[in-house]
A and B are shown apart, each in its own frame.
Chain A
């Protein structure tokens, strides 16, 4: 069965520091991978997605993620975090033969000035 693991429940960084949020998936075939961000009391917004091709994908708000098949990972990165990046981040996986996304449990990012 498909599953997504986000090992870090809560991460705190200083503004301007670099960021990496971890995501590991379990799926037999090539997955479709997504990162969504959710600000408090809001819906989810897509940051970036990977379907195929270049394993380093660029997203909105200066985020990028790298698909590593050998590690079953799709970690999200940002070189310099801004206070406005404080939010909940969800990794999700889908596949060509399913209608739905499976979400991880999320990582809450806190940014200190």
Chain B
């Protein structure tokens, strides 16, 4: 039944060691989002794809990259994780890019940096 699946649920990585988080969807939605959520804070949008069109938020650090090889999959790459990147990373999808369409969220990947 899961429609937006994130793997892994928990990820521990070493300071400075590249890490990739994955997201897949069975909804065939055009838009896929990556959010960063730190403890007791609101989700913060990092970037999103509308189909193959990549849209980066102005304040997203260059350390964060994303790939979307096909409609179903989207990856978040953190090139050199720092301690401040420890957070929950949420993937979401929506049918269209307009903010009046419902976003469906995955369960998130909790990233720990040691």
Please classify how large the interface on chain B is, using the bins under 10, 10 to 19, 20 to 34, 35 or more: 20 to 34
A96 to B100, CA, bound (A): 7
B8 to chain A, nearest CB (A): 13
From A42, A104, A108, residue with most partner B Cβ within 10 Å = A42
A22 to chain B, nearest CB (A): 15
Question: Which residues of B lie under 8 Å from residue A45 when comparing CB positions?
Answer: 105
How many inter-chain residue pairs (CB < 8 Å) link A and B? 62
A101 to B103, CA, bound (A): 9
Given contacts A99-B55, A103-B43, contact A43 B4 (CB under 8 A): yes
A residues with a Cβ closer than 8 A to B are: 32, 34, 36, 41-46, 49, 51, 90, 94-96, 98-101, 103-106, 108
Starting from the known contacts A46-B102, A100-B99, A106-B42, 13 additional A-B residue pairs (CB-CB under 8 Å) come to A41-B108, A41-B110, A43-B90, A43-B108, A44-B90, A46-B104, A51-B100, A94-B99, A94-B100, A100-B33, A101-B103, A103-B42, A105-B41
